[in-house]
């Protein structure tokens, strides 16, 4: 298997599909979803901007596509939505299913350096290089002499995926024209989720951790397009895991543009995401469709 169509469904004049390909970066099959808006289909199809959504812990390529209700807005704006899986699957690594916040379903959008994870947990390489190339090859609306280089891309995400959206944009300047996050793990070096993941995937050297921490990256001089971040104030993970105030302080000190919106009553789940996803798509469209 090199590329496989799992299923495709008509949706708001476009097509919501789910796919699998043999990943060289991961060394295993990887799954992802793609919503192609009406503008990318038919005889008058044209290249459209590509917006990656990185999901949170325990999620799959289907979670956002089913729960967020984003396709209606994406159809109107002419955005292709790409929803990668959150980690490699069926790795055979002992203990990879023992915890819900580490291992399978918890890729943390980085390339692991520690065994037994270094072989398959190479999410950063897959997300930033290999998956865009797969999209350019297999989706006609991205066709062209150098389709991958010509793709206009943005990235956003939720929780662990919000961490990934921020750090990938900061670590790969120029790759993404727009970036945003919903309830991101904003300073993972300072929270149990990040400490567990970084020690397991990257080892004990905290200098390596700092290269995957959004607040630390900004403090060290990394920059990205203006950030939009939404955070629910009733989020049970806010105080212990997310720390948006640390991202806010780092951005303020560094002059990194950030709009941080706090919302009373909203928790960490997809009711929160569905409530504000249209704002995020319009934030990206303003940059990607200009």
Which of these is catalytic: 104, 212, 268, 283? 268
Query: Is residue 146 flagged as an active site residue?
Result: no
Asked if 228 and 259 touch (Cβ cutoff 8 Å), the reply is: yes
Quick one: DSSP state of residue 102? B
Number of H helices, E strands in the chain: 11, 9
Query: Is residue 280 flagged as an active site residue?
Result: no
- The 10 Å CB-count burial string (b at 16+, else e) for 239-275 is eebbbbebbbebbeebebebebeebeebbbbbebbeb
Asked if 215 and 186 touch (Cβ cutoff 8 Å), the reply is: yes
DSSP secondary structure string for all residues of 147-173: HHHH--EEEEEETHHHHHHHHHHHHST
Helix%, strand%, coil% for the chain, nearest 5: 40, 20, 40
Query: Is residue 268 flagged as an active site residue?
Result: yes
Task: Count the Cβ atoms, other than its own, within 10 Å of residue 101.
Answer: 16
Which of these is catalytic: 23, 87, 159, 180? 159
Which of these is catalytic: 111, 213, 230, 235? 235
Secondary structure E strands in 159-256: 178-182, 227-232
* Dist CA 111 CA 166 (whole Å): 16
> Which residues are designated catalytic?
159, 235, 268
């Amino acid at each position: 298997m090199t590329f496989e169509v799992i299923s495709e469904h008509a949706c708001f004049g476009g097509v919501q599909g789910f796919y699998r390909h043999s990943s060289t970066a991961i060394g295993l099959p990887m799954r992802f979803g793609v919503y192609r808006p009406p503008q990318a289909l038919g005889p008058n199809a044209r290249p459209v901007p590509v917006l990656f959504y990185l999901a949170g812990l325990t999620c799959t390529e289907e979670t956002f596509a089913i729960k967020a209700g984003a396709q209606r807005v994406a159809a109107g704006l002419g955005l292709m939505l790409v929803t990668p899986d959150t980690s490699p699957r069926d790795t055979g690594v002992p203990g990879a299913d023992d915890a819900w916040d580490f291992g399978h379903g918890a890729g943390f959008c980085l390339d692991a350096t520690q065994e037994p994870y270094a072989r398959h947990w190479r999410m950063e390489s897959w997300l930033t290089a290999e998956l865009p190339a797969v999209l350019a090859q297999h989706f006609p609306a991205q066709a062209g002499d150098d389709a991958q280089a010509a793709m206009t891309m943005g990235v956003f995400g939720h929780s662990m995926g919000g961490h990934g959206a921020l750090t990938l944009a900061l670590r790969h300047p120029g790759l993404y024209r727009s970036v945003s996050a919903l309830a991101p793990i904003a300073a993972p070096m300072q929270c149990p989720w990040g400490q567990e993941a970084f020690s397991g995937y990257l080892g004990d050297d905290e200098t390596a951790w700092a290269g995957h921490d959004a607040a630390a990256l900004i403090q060290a001089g990394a920059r990205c397009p203006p950030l939009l971040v939404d955070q629910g104030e009733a989020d049970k993970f806010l105080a212990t895991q997310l720390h948006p105030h640390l991202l806010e302080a780092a951005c303020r000190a560094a002059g990194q543009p950030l709009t941080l919106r706090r919302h009373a009553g909203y928790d960490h789940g997809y009711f929160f995401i569905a409530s504000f996803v249209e704002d995020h798509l319009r934030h990206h469209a303003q940059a990607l469709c200009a």
